[in-house]
């Protein structure tokens, strides 16, 4: 079981080496969605084709589950991401957003890899919310200039896919009964750290 788990997350980390932040990530080949369908597809795809975003969503669901936190924790990330999209649409500037996003992936992996719960759940709640704002700010680039219908569809797809991933991971881990000290989540955390290091290095060097 541990070997299979390790192989899965090793492949996940290895795949991140070939991801670029520019893949950052457009489901419509860089085109602004103009229809309800295009907005929905873009919203559903955006967090998945960006491995840095996907890695943090997985980390959020995993950590909340193994640390015995409520499912409210990863949903705070989703809520924050919608706020972040709104900030981008309002043309407000969040400096160094991509660096913060990469660093958040590194931090999320570290929380898992260390194998210990945190004393303050409120601190994790705040982290997920704030990090969600930065991830959402990056998502907003894909929808700037869209009309109301594709925009609403984009937000709905974005919220749905992120919630599905985070809660799917959360309930899967809870069903396995893994504790924060277990080897499986710690291996997952190590792989996610690798994703964070890769993206952070790409931002700092590039």
Are 126 and 53 in contact by the 8 Å Cβ rule? The answer is: no
pLDDT of residue 125: 95
Are 66 and 199 in contact by the 8 Å Cβ rule? The answer is: no
pLDDT of residue 119: 85
| Chain centroid to CA 177 | 23
Are 173 and 62 in contact by the 8 Å Cβ rule? The answer is: yes
Using CA atoms, how far apart are residues 119 and 131, in angstroms rounded to an integer? 19
36 burial class (0-12, 13-18, 19+ CB within 10 angstroms)? middle
pLDDT of residue 45: 93
Are 157 and 44 in contact by the 8 Å Cβ rule? The answer is: yes
| Chain centroid to CA 192 | 11
Taking only the tens place, the pLDDT of each residue in 152-164 is: 999 999 999 999 9
Global pTM reads 0.86
pLDDT of residue 11: 45
Low pLDDT (below 70) residues in the chain: 1-30, 206
**Alpha-helix residue ranges (DSSP H) falling in the chain:** 2-16, 36-49, 51-66, 72-89, 97-113, 121-140, 148-176, 183-205
The candidate with the shortest Cα–Cα distance to 46, out of 150, 129, 127, is: 150
| Chain centroid to CA 1 | 25
Using CA atoms, how far apart are residues 136 and 145, in angstroms rounded to an integer? 16
Task: Count CA within 13 A, CB hemisphere, residue 153.
Answer: 17
Residues in the chain, total: 206
């Amino acid at each position: 079981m541990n070997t299979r788990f390790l192989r899965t997350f090793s492949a996940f980390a290895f795949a991140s080496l070939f991801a670029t932040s520019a893949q950052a990530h457009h489901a419509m080949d860089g085109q602004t969605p103009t229809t309800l369908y295009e907005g929905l597809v873009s919203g559903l795809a955006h967090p998945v084709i960006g491995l840095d975003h996907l890695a943090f969503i997985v980390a959020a669901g995993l950590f909340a589950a193994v640390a015995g936190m409520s499912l409210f924790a990863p949903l705070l990330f989703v809520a924050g991401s919608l706020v972040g999209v709104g900030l981008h649409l309002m043309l407000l500037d969040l400096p160094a957003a991509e660096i913060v996003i990469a660093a958040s992936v590194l931090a999320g992996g570290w929380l898992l890899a260390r194998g210990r719960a945190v004393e303050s759940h409120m601190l994790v709640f705040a982290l997920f919310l704030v990090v969600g704002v930065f991830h959402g700010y990056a998502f907003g680039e894909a929808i700037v200039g869209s009309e109301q219908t594709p925009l609403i569809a984009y937000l709905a797809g974005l919220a749905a896919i992120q919630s599905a991933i985070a809660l799917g991971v959360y309930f899967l881990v809870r069903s396995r009964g893994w504790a924060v000290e277990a080897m499986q989540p710690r291996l997952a955390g190590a792989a996610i750290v690798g994703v964070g290091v890769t993206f952070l290095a790409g931002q700092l060097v590039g």
